[in-house]
Amino acid sequence: MIVFTHPDCLRHDTGRGHPESPARLQVLLARLRDDDRFQVRQAAKAPRGPLLLVHPAAYLTRLEGLANTGGGMLDQDTVMSAASWDAALGAVGAVLGAVTSAHDGQDAFAAIRPPGHHALARRAMGFCLLANAVIGARHAQSLGRHRILIVDWDVHHGNGTQALVEHDPAIRYVSLHQWPAYPGTGSANERGVGNIFNVPMPAGRPRSEYVAALWSAIDAAGGEWSPDLIVISAGFDAMAGDPLGGFTLEPEDYSTLSQRIRERFPLVPVVSVMEGGYRPDRLADGVVAHLTALAQLPFGTPSGYTDSPAPPRSE
């Protein structure tokens, strides 16, 4: 399994006590580099062109300028340091590398920060500067993979992602998220042009209910419509014990969901983009479970999909 990252992602300084800390990525990369099942590669920083597919030039110039003057607060919980613009470019570069890998036939993961699914076209929010997953989706479309399914299992609704794709019938967006919770969007009746599949759920429910609800929405979004690429906004703050969420998922639930996505769409490459997850050890556990499941059923593996969990695979 290929993992793309960039060292500047670790230089994004959010300040002491901020939950979106460099430790999230440090712990994960240490785990991945110690496991020979994963190939960790350094991506190139993103050029401006792919960013302009999503964000206006004036917004990008404003972010870059703020970093060049030492950084500052963008809202009450979103901050830039002097290195944050470089980190954002490194993060998007990793996403572009992962999309290109998937386009060429090998699933990939972007181990990055800052996250992206709250970022709007002209506004940073919720720790997010650039809309990483949407930029990846637009890059995939530029490569000829026009139909994109975005699955967002972060505990918070990806309001930025939804706002950026809800008028594009070629992109379908599925989000399981805690309701009510930040950012207050993502009701089930928000349907876009029929391409939005929101699954708002209360905190504290049994794990199986979250898995079943998300899977039902993914299956409905697929329907008779076959994507050319799947982008997973892979937040792991829906796990039990996360300080910013109240869901109850465990690492094996991400393994189950990943396996079922691969079995449901066996000929569709998958790109995963790191979002939230604010206990570094638990974040790493979730990522490893997710990637291990994908690696066990590589892209292109024939599979007879059924609407029931597949039995464990024996080695």
* Residue 118 annotated in active site: yes
Instruction: Please answer whether residues 110 and 274 qualify as being in contact, where contact means their C-beta atoms are separated by less than 8 angstroms.
Output: yes
- 4 contact partners, CB below 8 Å, separation of at least 6: 41, 42, 43, 93, 94, 95, 97, 98, 101, 108, 109, 110, 111
Instruction: Please answer whether residues 88 and 11 qualify as being in contact, where contact means their C-beta atoms are separated by less than 8 angstroms.
Output: no
Instruction: Please answer whether residues 87 and 166 qualify as being in contact, where contact means their C-beta atoms are separated by less than 8 angstroms.
Output: no
Residue 229's closest CA among 145, 105, 139, 166?
A: 145
Residues forming a β-bridge with 239: 249
Q: How far apart are CA 86 and CA 74, in angstroms?
A: 16
Q: How far apart are CA 176 and CA 241, in angstroms?
A: 18
- 276 contact partners, CB below 8 Å, separation of at least 6: 20, 115, 127, 154, 155, 156, 235, 236, 237, 244, 245
CB atoms within 10 A of CB 192: 18
Catalytic residue among 103, 118, 139, 177: 118
Q: Which two tokens stand for residue 65?
A: 């300028």
Q: How far apart are CA 140 and CA 96, in angstroms?
A: 9
Q: How far apart are CA 192 and CA 283, in angstroms?
A: 31
Phi, psi of 298 (to 5 degrees): -60, 155
Active-site annotation, residues: 118
